[in-house]
Structure 1
């Protein structure tokens, strides 16, 4: 893969394989997005680069990279939406303070504290595993009763 100059502008495009995004958005929200153009949802998304396109040095085109959605979770409750927006704002402020943006927004500048506040109200991995184990046990018990 060719190396780019530090000042090279790389154009980012989304890969057309959007199945992960489709699965992450509940049907009621997909309908809402369709019925109300311009409406918004808030999500945590993980991307992976899938392909890149370079151009000859004398071409007046930016290099391109395509990203594919690998994981996505959409906020569906008011408190989670509010906290994710605060995380976005905190990350924005951090980028601004690092010199990549022009304006600093209002509010806290502590990204870690904001993320910790968000996670404090969410199930832990252990709680999730206990929940899944209970579901498996219930399904197993129901099957035994059917026979």
Structure 2
């Protein structure tokens, strides 16, 4: 892959495979996005670069990189949305302080504290593993059957 000059602008394109987003957005939210154009959702997303396009020296086009969504989780509750937005604001402020943005918004500048606050209300890996083990044991106890509560 050719090396780019440090100040080169790289255009970002999203890959057409949006399967991870489809899985991460609950049906009720997808319906809401369809029914209310301009509606928003808040998510944590991990991208991977899949392809790049370079151009010959002297061409008047920016280099491009295509990104694919690899993991995505969508906030579905008011507190999750509020906390994710605070993390976003903190990251924004950090970029501003690093000289990449023009305005600083109000509030804390501590990204780590905002992320810690967000994660404090969510299960740890250990809690999740214990949950999965309980589910596995319960399923074995039912002989693999799904029992109806109705």
Give the TM interval when normalised to the shorter protein.
Answer: over 0.9
CA distance in 2, matches of 1:65, 1:71: 18
Count of matched residue positions in the alignment of Structure 1 and Structure 2? 146
Structure 2 distance, partners of 1:47, 1:107, is: 28
**Structure 1 residue 29, shift from structure 2 partner:** 0.4
- Following superposition, the deviation at residue 4 of structure 1 comes to 0.4
What is the rounded CA distance, in whole Å, between the counterparts of 1:4 and 1:11 in structure 2?
13
The 5 A counterparts of 1:1-40 are: 1-40=1-40
Structure 2: give runs of 5+ residues left out of the alignment: none
State the TM-score, normalizing by the size of structure 1: 0.97
Partners of 1:145 and 1:104 in 2: CA distance: 55
Summarize the alignment of residues 1-147 of structure 1 with structure 2, pairs less than 5 Å apart.
1-143=1-143
Moved over 4 A (4+): none
Q: Distance in 2 between matches of 1:81 and 1:112?
A: 17
Structure 1: how far apart are the matches of 2:138 and 2:71?
Answer: 28
Q: Could you give the per-residue CA deviations for residues 50-92 of structure 1, whole angstroms, max 9, x where no partner exists?
A: 0000001121000000000000000001101100000000000
Structure 1 or 2: more helix by fraction: 1
TM-score, reference length from structure 2: 0.95
Question: C-alpha separation between the residues in 1 aligned to 2:110 and 2:58?
Answer: 44
Distance 2:133 2:52 in 1: 42
